[in-house]
């Protein structure tokens, strides 16, 4: 079956570094997305990985290992505004059609002063 | 450039009624996907429209139907509303390329009483 797993909650301190993990099982593979969602708002795109390795984008980096079905989102120099839910998503669907996104439940990150 | 717009933002309906939600995709996008997001959950894929046809569908009953117009805007219709249909309904637009990031509207908060 198709499934995405990520921790439900994490807590970190302002200025620190936090790593949010995601494991996935999808039919075929066409990359992995990370989105940020503040309470009551729509998800916003953070990153997309299709090749193995680390991609850095400012304070946020995303890592992918296709052989392990594993990804993580790394947030550096945490700020209070980073308190949000972080959603891992991968295209999934029947063979030959990978356009719908399969989503994890989201990791709720609380950044404390 | 307007992003993805959804209307209405909030809606209260009575059990058994019907509802229509609307979405205008981001300029240049031709694919619209609809998601249902219950509180504390990740988005659940309802269906996707491309070239005015439903191209892929998630595990939702036939009470959920949709439409895409020639200008790429879309509607989501839900008949015979149940209390469990209360959720945030998100519209996401994208280009018709696997792996393309999706841009989300602010969502419609539907409450069924």
Position A19 scores a pLDDT of 98
Q: What are the start-end ranges of the E strands in chain B?
A: 5-7, 10-13, 19-24, 31-37, 44-50, 53-57, 64-68, 74-78, 87-94, 103-104, 108-112
User: Which long-range contacts link B98-102 to residues 24+ away (Cβ below 8 Å)?
Assistant: B98/A30, B98/A91, B98/A98, B98/A99, B99/A30, B99/A31, B99/A48, B99/A50, B99/A91, B101/A33, B101/A45, B101/A48, B102/A45, B102/A101, B102/B33
The mean pLDDT of B31-43, rounded to a whole number, is 91
Q: What percent of chain B has pLDDT over 90?
A: 75
Of the two residues B72 and A27, the one the predictor is more confident about is B72
Write out the two tokens for A109.
Answer: 């990150």
Assess B60–A contact: CB distance below 8 Å, yes or no: no
Nearest CA distance, A60 vs chain B (angstrom):
17
Contact, A102 vs A90, CB < 8 A? yes
- Judged by CB atoms closer than 8 Å, whether chains meet at A42 and B44 is answered as no
Interface residues of chain A, partner chain B, Cβ below 8 Å: 4, 30-31, 33, 41-45, 48, 50, 87, 89, 91, 93, 97-106
Contact, A20 vs A44, CB < 8 A? no
Q: How far is CA B1 from the centre of its chain?
A: 21
* Model confidence band, residue B81 (pLDDT cutoffs 50, 70, 90): very high
3-state secondary structure of A86: strand
User: What is chain A's pLDDT, residue by residue, as a tens digit (113 residues)?
Assistant: 678 999 999 999 999 999 999 999 877 777 899 999 998 889 999 999 989 999 999 999 999 999 999 999 999 999 999 999 999 998 876 544 456 788 888 999 999 99
- Judged by CB atoms closer than 8 Å, whether chains meet at A87 and B101 is answered as no
pLDDT tens-digit profile of B52-61? Answer: 999 888 889 9
From residue A98, alpha-carbon distances to A61, A85, B100 in Å are 25, 24, 11
Residues of A in contact with B7 (CB under 8 A): none
Write out the two tokens for A87.
Answer: 């959603």
Q: If you count residue pairs, one on A and one on B, with CB atoms under 8 Å apart, how many are there?
A: 61
Contact, A88 vs A31, CB < 8 A? no
Position B40 scores a pLDDT of 84
């Amino acid at each position: 079956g198709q499934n995405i797993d990520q921790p439900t909650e994490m807590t970190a301190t302002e200025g620190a570094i936090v790593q949010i993990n995601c494991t996935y099982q999808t039919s075929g593979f066409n990359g992995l997305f990370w989105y940020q969602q503040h309470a009551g708002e729509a998800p916003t795109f953070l990153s997309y990985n299709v090749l193995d390795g680390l991609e850095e984008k400012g304070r946020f980096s995303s890592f992918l290992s296709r052989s392990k079905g594993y990804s993580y989102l790394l947030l550096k120099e945490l700020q209070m505004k980073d308190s949000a839910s972080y959603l891992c998503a991968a295209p999934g669907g029947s063979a030959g059609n990978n356009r719908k996104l399969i989503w994890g439940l989201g990791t709720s990150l609380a950044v404390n002063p | 450039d307007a992003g993805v717009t959804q209307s209405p933002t909030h809606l209260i309906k009575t059990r058994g009624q019907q509802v229509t939600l609307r979405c205008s995709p981001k300029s240049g996008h031709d694919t619209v996907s609809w998601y249902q997001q219950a509180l504390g959950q990740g988005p659940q894929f309802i269906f996707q429209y491309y070239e005015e046809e439903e191209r892929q569908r998630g595990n939702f009953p036939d009470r959920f139907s949709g439409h895409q117009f020639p200008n790429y805007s879309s509607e989501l219709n839900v008949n015979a509303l149940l209390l469990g249909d209360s959720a945030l309904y998100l519209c996401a637009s994208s280009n018709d390329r696997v792996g393309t990031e999706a841009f989300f509207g602010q969502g419609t908060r539907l409450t069924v009483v």
